[in-house]
């Protein structure tokens, strides 16, 4: 009432209704114009859709005609070929057309359906009597086109089929030319016929073949055997559309597309024109702009109407409100208006209400008296504070209990501030709470201990803010004396704090479990499990335990509760909030919690300890390089399986061939790669239940429980098969694995003996093909030599040419010429062991690098000795860097001590190196090379051979 009177007194007139009327007019205008616009839009869209459908029917029809004409033309051309060739030479025509890119393939069938001639020679002789093309050709006797899907090869076939007659009656041959769909779609897409959207072709089964405007045919690409075909659904069709087709072009519309389709004559399938509705929408974008303008005009028109109506309606309301203000100020007893006015009812109501108001004021006085009695009769100290605009507090009123309990005498309505009444310190202290209450604007309860004239007392005070004009104007305070109760609570708090200090700072997770739920959890428990305390205390403890450990945890909880065996200690897995599994050492003891039995649990996180233990266990039983089991585990398993129920047990012994040679020459890194590849091949070949171990550097063994000898052989075969697969993929570092196996059929046979037998068999096999194994390894090295190509493109070939030329001039034997050619190819075999960063270095070698380089004749010699193919020239490889004057390496041979073939090679090799580009320098001319040979004759080279080499 206070604020209303004030508002009216300032003659503020209510304006909300005016604006509401105005806004409602605008909204009505908007709705009407949107409705009319929508109707117009719908009508225009309908017209556009109808226009598109008409246009697309024409397009579909024209495309079909185009296609029919296209096939007809192709067929006529083919027929003219056959006519020209005469019926006796159909093979010649098929052969002729092989070159034509129009056709994917062509073939000629005889009267029995056999393929007489075909562009793909593989199918000559095939029996196609059951194929549709053959059956239909004999049935109709006329040329025809057949569009079909080749199910087994998952590709489209557009067959142009021509029966050929030698004599009247049945055809003697049937020629089939399969049109290339890619060529067809390209051709058709060039024939643009004023079409929008997509032109699609599909057969009666709904297989989509061609998307003409997008120049695409299905299936396509290398993945045509595995990629899925587009479905009718992908293109917005349903199979029922095709099944319901009854003739002529048909159209339908779904959420996204407008589609027109029709069946083509013959067996050509369906053709369709599909257009996205969004594309059609582009055509009437102007309509949408026009509608938007209309809606805007509607808003303006109705907005103007709203203003006029609101002003006329509000005038009598403003006059009446002036009278009401006067009545409230006591200048009038009643308000008046014309009896016929629409506001007369409101005026009568106001007058009646005003009389009622006077009565209310009397009632209010009576209530105030009653309130005074209650105010002064209560035992709590009550007080009323005024809050001024500048934030000062003034005591306005207090009850008798306040005076009695505090010893402060305060005259009501004397208006003192707390500082004036209580002194500056205490006054500031109590004012802080008053300010907090004003700031919050909500009731505030707090405890305070104050030294007052009646003594030091503790109070619980509640302040209640009273608002006026959106600001706190008064605070009502109610204080209860709780001094005695606080003293008891304080002594309890100190006691609890001591215990809590111990538990909260414990490094163990401590909790109390009752009825399967945690009733208490210390901070360490929260930290360990990662859940909030609230979640921990409302969830079953078993939810934090690994499912496999839940049963044993339950048992241990039961034992702890019953007190059986005192404190129980066990190891279990816990699941944290982040789903991490943690190992924990858990002990529990029976206690009483809130007068009921419970378990006090202590949990230590031992995950790290457990991990270390598991890691140690793993390392003790596994091979670090391959991750397979090691010898120790293999032996343990062999003991475990001996005399077990797992018989028959097959044991496989496998050995990686040539590992030492690879390690010596290509380094241990490549050797390790080979071991890992071998392990992988073995692992993939074995069953999941088999036990595979690496029991030595290049030795592997496997135990195959419940495996008969025949199955073991199958697995050994699988190992060889997979090794071959690996070699096909990684030809640079191929695998060769020797495998032996033996089976212990009965429990009486020792597995150790069986393993020995398998190992013997493996070695026997290895010995019998030792030379193959070695050659195989040397092949790997030569392959690596070629791949690195560190000498230069064609170096080996050129050196070989120079050597043979010089050898022929010398008249050496054919056997020596063969050795010389081989030496020219492989003399640098030892370089495979030299790192790439030295081989390909662009600056001169350092002394250390030279030392490494100079080892290559000896390395090459070692490799060659182990290969039957190269053993003959091993000595030559060793000596190919010796100098005529004895300053070469590695043996320092001189003059005729150096084998003749090495002296020839030295000249040819040096000449080619000088006259070819190197990584670190450009080639010199042949003339300069010849001069250099002359200069070094007698020191590096045999002078007689140099002379012979330089003769034309």
Partner 1 sequence: MRDMVKFGKVSVCAALFTVAVLFLLFFPRFFSAAEDGRMILIVTKDQSDTTSQNPTRLQVAAELALEDFQKNRENSRKIVHKYITYMGYEKEGYLQAKAFLEKNPSVIALVGDFNSTGTEYTARLAAEHQIPHLSFFSTEEEIFRGKPWSFSYRPRIQHESAIILQILREHLGSQKVIIIASDQQVLFTRAEDFYAAGSKSGLEIVDYHIFPAEKYDYREEIDQLVTLEEQFDSFVLFLEVYQLEHFLQQISLAGLDKPTLTTGTVIHPDLLSEFEGVDHSLFAFVPRLYLRLDKENDLQSFEQRYMVETGFHRIDSLGPWIYDGFSTLYEIMDGADNREQVMEALTGYEKEHYIGFIGFDRDGLMNKNTFVPVRVRSGKFEEL
DSSP classification of residue 416: B
Which of 1, 122, 367, 669 forms a contact with partner 1 (CB under 8 A)?
122
Length of the chain equals 952
Which of 4, 31, 308, 772 forms a contact with partner 1 (CB under 8 A)?
31
Contacts of residues 328-334 at CB distance under 8 Å and 24 or more positions apart, as own/partner, are 328/5, 328/8, 328/9, 329/9
Listed in order, strand segments (DSSP E) in 434-580 are: 444-452, 455-468, 471-481, 509-514, 517-521, 568-575
Distances (CA, A) of 862 to 662, 848, 850, 868: 12, 22, 20, 12
Which residue in 104, 82, 105, 98 sits closest to 163, CA to CA? 82
Determine the Cα–Cα distance for residues 283 and 41; give it in Å rounded to an integer. 12
Q: Is 731 in the site for partner 1 (CB under 8 A)?
A: no
CB-nearer residue toward partner 1: 143 or 712: 712
Determine the Cα–Cα distance for residues 98 and 314; give it in Å rounded to an integer. 95
From the CB of 242, what's the least distance to partner 1, in Å? 10
* CA dihedral (21, 27, 30, 36) positive or negative: negative
CB-nearer residue toward partner 1: 226 or 748: 226
Angle at 470 between CA 465 and CA 476, to 5 degrees: 15
From the CB of 202, what's the least distance to partner 1, in Å? 9
Q: Is 225 in the site for partner 1 (CB under 8 A)?
A: yes
Which residue in 496, 406, 382, 412 sits closest to 454, CA to CA? 406
Binding mask 59-98 for partner 1 (x = CB under 8 A): ----------------------------------------
CB-nearer residue toward partner 1: 178 or 514: 178
Q: Helix (H, G, I), strand (E, B), or coil: what is residue 298?
A: helix
Q: Is 123 in the site for partner 1 (CB under 8 A)?
A: yes
Which of 3, 7, 140, 231 forms a contact with partner 1 (CB under 8 A)?
231
CA dihedral 673, 678, 683, 687 (to 10 degrees): 170
Residue whose structure tokens are 């080619």 = 912
Residue whose structure tokens are 């206070």 = 2
From the CB of 239, what's the least distance to partner 1, in Å? 5
Which of 88, 153, 414, 779 forms a contact with partner 1 (CB under 8 A)?
153
Which residue in 236, 204, 231, 205 sits closest to 218, CA to CA? 231
Binding mask 655-694 for partner 1 (x = CB under 8 A): ---------------------------------x------
Q: Helix (H, G, I), strand (E, B), or coil: what is residue 576?
A: coil
CB-nearer residue toward partner 1: 388 or 724: 724
For 215-249, b/e burial (b = at least 16 CB within 10 A) is ebbbbeeeeeeeeeebebeebbbeeebbeeeeeeb
Binding mask 4-23 for partner 1 (x = CB under 8 A): ----------------xx-x
From the CB of 716, what's the least distance to partner 1, in Å? 13
Among 362-370, 428-436, 589-597, 708-716, which window interacts with partner 1 (CB under 8 A)?
708-716
CB-nearer residue toward partner 1: 128 or 941: 128
Q: Is 300 in the site for partner 1 (CB under 8 A)?
A: no
Which residue in 840, 880, 889 sits closest to 860, CA to CA? 880
CB-nearer residue toward partner 1: 124 or 913: 124
Q: Is 624 in the site for partner 1 (CB under 8 A)?
A: no
From the CB of 711, what's the least distance to partner 1, in Å? 5
Binding mask 505-544 for partner 1 (x = CB under 8 A): ----------------------------------------
From the CB of 228, what's the least distance to partner 1, in Å? 5
Q: Is 718 in the site for partner 1 (CB under 8 A)?
A: yes
Binding mask 176-205 for partner 1 (x = CB under 8 A): ---------------------------x-x
Determine the Cα–Cα distance for residues 243 and 237; give it in Å rounded to an integer. 11
From the CB of 701, what's the least distance to partner 1, in Å? 22
Which of 619, 714, 767, 772 forms a contact with partner 1 (CB under 8 A)?
714
Q: Is 483 in the site for partner 1 (CB under 8 A)?
A: no
Residue whose structure tokens are 């004397």 = 414
The interface with partner 1 within residues 418-457 (CB under 8 A) comprises none
Q: Helix (H, G, I), strand (E, B), or coil: what is residue 144?
A: strand
Among 126-134, 551-559, 560-568, 886-894, which window interacts with partner 1 (CB under 8 A)?
126-134
Which of 238, 483, 527, 532 forms a contact with partner 1 (CB under 8 A)?
238
From the CB of 9, what's the least distance to partner 1, in Å? 28
Determine the Cα–Cα distance for residues 884 and 940; give it in Å rounded to an integer. 5
DSSP string, 63-105: HHHHHHHHHHHHHHHHHHHHHHH-TT-HHHHHHHHTT-TTEEE
Q: Is 340 in the site for partner 1 (CB under 8 A)?
A: no
Number of residues that bind partner 1 (CB under 8 A): 54
From the CB of 773, what's the least distance to partner 1, in Å? 24
* CA dihedral (28, 33, 34, 36) positive or negative: positive
From the CB of 178, what's the least distance to partner 1, in Å? 15
The answer to whether 204 and 146 are in contact (CB under 8 A) is no
The answer to whether 208 and 242 are in contact (CB under 8 A) is no
Which of 206, 269, 511, 588 forms a contact with partner 1 (CB under 8 A)?
206
Which of 721, 840, 850, 920 forms a contact with partner 1 (CB under 8 A)?
721
Distances (CA, A) of 265 to 134, 203, 248, 271, 281: 20, 12, 11, 11, 33
Which of 80, 100, 127, 532 forms a contact with partner 1 (CB under 8 A)?
127
Which of 227, 349, 360, 871 forms a contact with partner 1 (CB under 8 A)?
227
Among 231-239, 324-332, 796-804, 832-840, which window interacts with partner 1 (CB under 8 A)?
231-239
Binding site for partner 1 (CB under 8 A): 20-21, 23-25, 27-28, 31, 113, 122-123, 125-132, 149-154, 203, 205-207, 225-229, 231-234, 237-240, 309, 312-313, 547, 688, 708, 710-711, 714, 718, 721, 725
């Amino acid at each position: 009432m206070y604020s209303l009177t004030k508002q009216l007194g300032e003659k503020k007139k209510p304006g909300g209704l005016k604006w509401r009327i105005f806004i409602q007019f605008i909204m009505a205008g908007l709705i009407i114009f949107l409705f009319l616009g929508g109707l117009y839009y719908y009508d225009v869209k309908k017209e556009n859709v109808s226009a598109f459908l008409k246009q697309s029917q024409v397009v579909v029809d024209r495309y079909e005609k185009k296609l029919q004409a296209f096939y007809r033309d192709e067929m006529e051309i083919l027929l003219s070929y056959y006519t020209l060739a005469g019926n006796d030479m159909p093979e010649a025509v098929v052969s002729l057309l092989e070159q034509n890119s129009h056709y994917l393939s062509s073939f000629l069938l005889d009267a029995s359906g056999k393929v007489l001639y075909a562009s793909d020679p593989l199918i000559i002789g095939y029996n196609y009597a059951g194929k549709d093309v053959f059956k239909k050709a004999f049935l109709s006797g006329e040329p025809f086109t057949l569009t079909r899907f080749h199910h087994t090869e998952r590709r489209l076939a557009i067959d142009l089929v021509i029966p050929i007659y030698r004599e009247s009656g049945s055809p003697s041959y049937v020629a089939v030319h399969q049109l290339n769909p890619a060529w067809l779609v390209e051709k058709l897409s060039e024939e643009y016929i004023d079409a929008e959207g997509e032109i699609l072709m599909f057969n009666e089964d709904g297989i989509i073949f061609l998307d003409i405007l997008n120049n695409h045919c299905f299936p396509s690409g290398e993945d045509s055997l595995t990629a899925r075909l587009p479905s009718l659904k992908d293109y917005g069709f349903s199979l029922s559309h095709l099944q319901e087709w009854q003739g002529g072009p048909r159209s339908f519309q779904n959420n996204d597309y407008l589609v027109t389709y029709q069946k083509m004559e013959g067996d050509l399938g369906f053709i369709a024109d599909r257009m996205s509705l969004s594309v059609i929408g582009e055509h009437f974008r102007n309509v949408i702009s026009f509608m938007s303008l209309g809606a805007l005009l509607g808003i303006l028109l109705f907005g103007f109407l709203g203003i006029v109506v609101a002003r006329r309606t509000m005038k009598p309301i403003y006059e009446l409100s002036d009278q009401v203000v006067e009545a409230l100020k006591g200048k009038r007893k009643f308000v008046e208006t014309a009896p016929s006015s629409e506001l007369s009812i409101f005026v009568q109501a106001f007058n009646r209400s005003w009389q009622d108001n006077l009565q209310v004021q009397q009632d209010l006085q009576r209530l105030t008296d009653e309130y005074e009695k209650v105010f002064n009769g209560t035992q709590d100290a009550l007080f009323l504070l005024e809050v001024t605009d500048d934030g000062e507090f003034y005591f306005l009123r207090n009850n008798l209990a306040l005076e009695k309990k505090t010893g402060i005498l305060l005259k009501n309505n004397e208006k003192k501030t707390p500082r004036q009444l209580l002194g500056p310190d205490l006054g500031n202290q109590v004012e802080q709470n008053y300010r907090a209450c004003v700031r919050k604007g909500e009731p505030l309860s707090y405890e305070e201990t104050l030294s007052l004239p009646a003594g030091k007392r503790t109070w619980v005070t509640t302040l209640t803010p009273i608002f006026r004009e959106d600001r706190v104007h008064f605070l009502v305070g109610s204080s209860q004396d709780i001094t005695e109760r606080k003293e008891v609570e304080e002594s309890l708090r100190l006691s609890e704090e001591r215990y809590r200090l111990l538990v909260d700072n414990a490094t163990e997770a401590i909790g109390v479990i009752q009825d399967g739920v945690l009733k208490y959890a210390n901070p360490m428990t929260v930290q360990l499990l990662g859940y909030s305390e609230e979640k921990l205390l409302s969830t079953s403890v078993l939810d934090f335990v690994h499912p496999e450990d839940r049963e044993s945890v339950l048992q241990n909880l039961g034992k702890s509760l019953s007190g059986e065996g005192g404190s129980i200690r066990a190891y279990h897995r816990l699941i944290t909030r982040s789903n991490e599994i943690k190992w924990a050492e858990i002990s529990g003891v029976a206690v009483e919690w809130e007068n009921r039995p419970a378990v006090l649990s202590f949990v230590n996180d031992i995950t790290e300890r457990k991990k270390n233990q598991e890691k140690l266990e793993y390392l003790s039983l596994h091979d670090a390089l391959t991750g397979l089991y090691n010898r120790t585990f293999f032996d343990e398993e062999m003991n475990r399986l001996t005399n077990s129920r797992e018989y028959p047990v097959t044991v496989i012994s496998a050995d990686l061939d040539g590992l030492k040679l690879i390690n010596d020459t290509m380094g241990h890194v490549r050797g390790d790669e080979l071991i890992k590849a071998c392990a992988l091949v073995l692992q993939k070949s074995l069953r999941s239940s088999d036990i595979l171990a690496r029991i030595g550097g290049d030795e592997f063994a496997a135990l195959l429980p419940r495996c008969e000898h025949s199955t073991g052989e199958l697995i050994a075969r699988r190992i060889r098969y997979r090794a071959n697969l690996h070699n096909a993929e990684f030809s640079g570092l191929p695998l060769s694995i020797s495998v032996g196996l033996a089976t212990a059929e009965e429990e009486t046979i020792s597995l150790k003996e069986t393993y020995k037998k398998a190992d013997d068999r493996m070695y026997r096999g290895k010995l019998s093909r030792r030379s193959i194994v070695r050659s195989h390894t040397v092949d790997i090295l030569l392959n690596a030599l070629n791949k690195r190509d560190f000498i230069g493109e064609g170096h080996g070939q050129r050196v070989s040419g120079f050597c043979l030329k010089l050898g022929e001039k010398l008249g050496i034997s054919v056997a020596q010429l063969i050795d010389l050619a081989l030496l020219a190819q492989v003399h640098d075999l030892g370089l495979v062991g030299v790192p790439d960063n030295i081989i390909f270095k662009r600056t001169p070698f350092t002394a250390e690098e030279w030392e490494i380089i100079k080892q290559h004749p000896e390395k090459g010699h070692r490799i060659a000795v182990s290969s039957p193919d190269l053993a003959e020239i091993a000595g030559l490889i060793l000596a190919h860097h010796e100098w005529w004057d004895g300053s070469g390496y590695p043996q320092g041979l001189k003059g005729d001590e150096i084998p003749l073939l090495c002296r020839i090679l030295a000249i040819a090799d040096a000449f080619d190196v000088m006259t070819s580009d190197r990584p670190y320098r450009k080639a010199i001319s042949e003339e300069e090379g010849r001069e250099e040979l002359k200069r070094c004759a007698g020191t590096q080279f045999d002078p007689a051979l140099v002379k012979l080499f330089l003769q034309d």
